[in-house]
Amino acid sequence: MKTLLTISLLLISCSTIDTQDSFSVNKLRQGLLSSDELVIFDQAKNIFYKGSTARIKDLSSIIEVKNMADGHDCLCYADFVLIFSRNGSYAFALGLHPGMDLRWTNSPWLSDGKLDKFSFFLILDWIKDEIKVSKRLDNYEIPERLSKEQ
């Protein structure tokens, strides 16, 4: 029963975005899968964690965006920022905002993506689990481009 409910929720959330938005979400998933380094920033505690890229595939499969066309940008700072690198260079970042928004910096999105409620909580659980097994970083510097975008 739980599996059927999960599938139903995912089908409903997928049907609410148009083809262009779906293409953008697929580009995001491709970007995630091509990343080779992950740093998680917990804004509440101002702590950075070195994440494992082995679990990024799981993250890419749970992101479901409900709406991107409303032009909404959350005005607060993200609760968590996931900073992705490729070949030692900053590639992009995802900011998880409390209003169930996802900000993808350095991307084709013109506004924050409104996450499906189910997806939002799955992402929060993923981040929580990742922080538990990650190494704390004491001397991490935010990429300059990112500090302007988040």
The model's pLDDT over 121-136, given as tens digits with 9 standing for 90+, comes to 999 999 999 988 888 8
Secondary structure E strands in the chain: 37-42, 47-51, 65-67, 80-86, 89-97, 101-104, 113-115, 135-137
The CATH superfamily of 2-149 is Uncharacterised protein PF16224, DUF4883 (3.30.1490.410)
Q: Structure pTM?
A: 0.77
Q: Where are the domains of the chain?
A: 2-149
How many contiguous H segments (helices) and E segments (strands) does the chain have?
Answer: 5, 8
CA 31 to chain centre: 11
pLDDT of residue 69: 59
Q: What is the pLDDT of residue 13?
A: 39
pLDDT(59) > 90: yes
**pLDDT top residue among 146 and 121:** 121
For the chain, what is the mean pLDDT? 77
